[in-house]
Amino acid sequence: MESKGSSCKAGSLLLLLVSNMLLCKNVASGPICLNGAVSCEKYIKDLFDHAVMQSHYYHVLSTEMFKEFDRRYTQGRELFIKTFNGCHTSSLPTPEDKEQAQQTHSEDLLNLIHSILLSWNDPLYHLVSEVEGMQEAPGAILSRAIEIEDQNRRLIEGMEKIVSQVYPGAKENHVYSVWSGLSSLRMADEEARISAFYNLLHCLRRDSHKIDNFLKILKCRIAYNNNC
């Protein structure tokens, strides 16, 4: 009898596990709105559409800012390219191509986007103040810096909304990379300083592209069911 009971228990446990596994959401797809509620799906669609619009604009701004800076100060000189040290956000685990991105879980991808955005809060704040302090501070660069700082904040809010809607009850994400390039922005040597700015703007342009790309993947995956 006891064996039967134990086997029953094992069987039920196994059954429970199997059913859990079956109910587990797929990486690539899975209904977010449990009831299939239209308003829920519409809301998620709207959230993603809005976030994508903002991330697209974010990247456009950073591209313009980089190009303006390059035109004014560096002219794409090899010197600056060679001294490129990489970005402070490279420590964050990032897919490197399409396949890797498509294999990353949506939640992880959302958290990654969120982390990148958080990592840029501080540098953008200092970028604005340092650009203001530059001699002949170019208005085009300064205005864009200010606007990018705003965009960063707005995107963080958007991401948090999306996460709360798509993964309600998920653990809050606080992972971000610390930026320590402030000292290099304030260097006395002009070439070193310009180089530091160039680096920063280059990284910003790239990271904004990452954010935009990942959000668009997630949008098509979650809100449009892989059928953009």
Partner 1 sequence: MKENVASTIACILLLFLHISLLNGESPPGKPEIVSCLSPEKETFTCWWKLGTDGGLPTNYTVYYKKERENITYECPDYTSGGPNSCYFSKKHTSLWKTYVVWMTATNRLGSSASDPYTVEVIYIVVPHPPMNLTLEVKHPKYRKPYLWIEWQPPTIIDVRSGWLTLQYEIRLKPEKAAEWETHFAGQQTKFQILSLHPGLKYFVQVRCKPDHGNWSQWSPENSIQIPSDFPTDDTTMWIFVAVLSAAVCLITIWAMALKGSSMVTCIFPPVPGPKIKGFDTRLLEKGKSEELLSALGCHDFPPTSDCEDLLVEFLEVDDSEEQQLMPANSKEHPSPGVKPTHLDPDSDSGRGSYDSHSLLSEKCEETQASPHTFHTSGLMEKPETPEANITCPQDFQSIPGEGNIHYFDADESKSSTWPLPQPGQHNPRSPYHSIADMCKLAGGPVGPIATLLDKAGQDALKYSKTMATEEEEEKTVEQEVESFFYPKPKQDTVWLLPQEESPLISVKPLDYVEIHKVNKDGELTLLPKQRENSEQTEMSRAPDSSKEYAKVSRVIDNNILVLMPDPRAQNVALFEESIKESPPSLQQNQSEKDLASFPATSSKCKNQQGGLDYLDPTCFMHSFH
- Nearer to partner 1 (CB atom), residue 201 or residue 217: 217
Q: What's the token pair of residue 127? A: 């970028």
Residue 56 makes contact with partner 1 by CB under 8 A: yes
Residue 88 makes contact with partner 1 by CB under 8 A: no
Closest CA to 215 of 170, 224, 26, 148: 224
Residue 86 makes contact with partner 1 by CB under 8 A: yes
Residue 91 makes contact with partner 1 by CB under 8 A: no
The interface with partner 1 within residues 159-188 (CB under 8 A) comprises none
- Nearer to partner 1 (CB atom), residue 114 or residue 202: 202
Cα separation, 42 vs 130, in Å, equals: 42
- Nearer to partner 1 (CB atom), residue 78 or residue 136: 78
Binding range to partner 1, per CB under 8 A, among 39-47, 131-139, 148-156, 207-215: 207-215
Residue 79 makes contact with partner 1 by CB under 8 A: no
CB 88 within 8 A of CB 207: no
> Each residue of 172-206: b (16+ CB within 10 Å) or e?
ebeebbebebbebbeeeeeeebbbbbbbbbbbbbb
Residue 137 sits at φ, ψ, to 5 deg, of -55, 115
* C-alpha 170 chain-centroid distance: 17
Give the one residue of 43, 45, 94, 193 binding partner 1; rule: CB under 8 A: 94
| Total residue length of the chain | 228
Give the one residue of 2, 96, 136, 172 binding partner 1; rule: CB under 8 A: 96
Q: Which residues bind partner 1 (CB under 8 A)?
A: 56, 59-60, 63, 78, 81, 84, 86, 90, 94, 96-99, 101-102, 206, 209-210, 212-213, 216-221, 224, 226-228
